[in-house]
Amino acid sequence: MAVKEPTIDRDSPIFRVSIIITLAVLVLFSPLILLGLGWFLEAYEEVEGAAPVSHRVHEVSFGILFALALVGALTQRRAPTKNVAGMQQLVLVVVSFTLVMWLGLGVLEWVSLLYLVPVAAAGIFHPAGRRLVWPPLRPSLIGLALTAVAILPLVDAAGRELERAGAQAQNHSSHWGAMGAFFVIVLLLSLLAALRPPGHRVVAVSVGSGIVVYSLASLVFAFDASSHPSGWAAFAMLWGLAWAATGIWYPEARRRKERKTGVLRQMLVAVAAFGGTFVGLFVAAIWVGGDDPPNVPHSLEVPYEQANPQTCLACHGTGEEGAPDVPHEFPRDGISDCLACHQYDPDLIAPIAQANRNAWGLAPEPSLPLTADQLSGLRGTR
Q: Is 359 exposed, middle or buried (0-12, 13-18, 19+ CB in 10 A)?
A: exposed
* 278: pLDDT strictly greater than 90: no
Res. 367: pLDDT tops 50: no
Quick: pLDDT tens for 140-180.
Answer: 888 999 999 999 899 989 988 888 777 776 666 678 888 99
CA 22 to chain centre: 23
Query: How far apart are alpha carbons 18 and 131 in whole angstroms?
Result: 19
Q: Is the pLDDT of residue 207 over 50?
A: yes
Average model confidence (pLDDT) across the chain = 75
Output the CA–CA distances (angstroms, integers) from residue 268 to 24, 148, 261, 275, in the order listed. 53, 21, 11, 10
Residues 312-333 have a mean pLDDT of 65
Tens digits of residue pLDDT in 215-238: 999 988 877 888 888 888 888 999
pLDDT at 358: 40
Question: Is pLDDT at 201 greater than 70 in this prediction?
Answer: yes
How many other CB atoms are found less than 10 A from the CB of residue 109?
A: 12
Question: Residue 343: its pLDDT value, please?
Answer: 66
Structure confidence at residue 280 as a pLDDT band (50, 70, 90): low
Query: For 288-304, how does the pLDDT look when each residue is reduced to its tens digit (9 = 90+)?
Result: 555 566 666 666 555 55
Q: How many C-beta atoms surround the C-beta of residue 96 within 10 A? A: 18
Which of 59-63, 94-98, 298-302 is least confident? 298-302
The answer to whether residue 45 scores a pLDDT higher than 60 is no
Region of poorest pLDDT, from 38-47, 247-256, 316-325, 368-377: 368-377
Q: Which of 74-88, 172-186, 368-382 has the highest mean pLDDT?
A: 74-88
Write down the domain spans for the chain: 13-251+271-289, 304-378
Given pLDDT bands bounded at 50, 70 and 90, which one contains residue 25? Answer: very high
- Reported as a pLDDT band with limits 50, 70 and 90, residue 319 is low
SS3 assignment for the chain: CCCCCCCCCCCCHHHHHHHHHHHHHHHHHCHHHHHHHHHHCCCCECCCCCCCECCHHHHHHHHHHHHHHHHHHHHHHCCHHHCHHHHHHHHHHHHHHHHHHHHHHCCCCCHHHHHHHHHHHHHHCCCCHHHHCCCCCCCCHHHHHHHHHHHHHHHHHHHHHHHHHHHCHHHCCHHHHHHHHHHHHHHHHHHHHHHCCCCHHHHHHHHHHHHHHHHHHHHHCCCCCCCCCHHHHHHHHHHHHHHHHHHHHCCCCCCCCCCCCCHHHHHHHHHHHHHHHHHHHHHHHHHHHCCCCCCECECCCCCHHHCCHHHHHHHHCCCHHHCCCCCCCCCECCECCHHHCCCECHHHHHHHHHHCCCCCCCCCCCCCCCCHHHHHHHCCCC
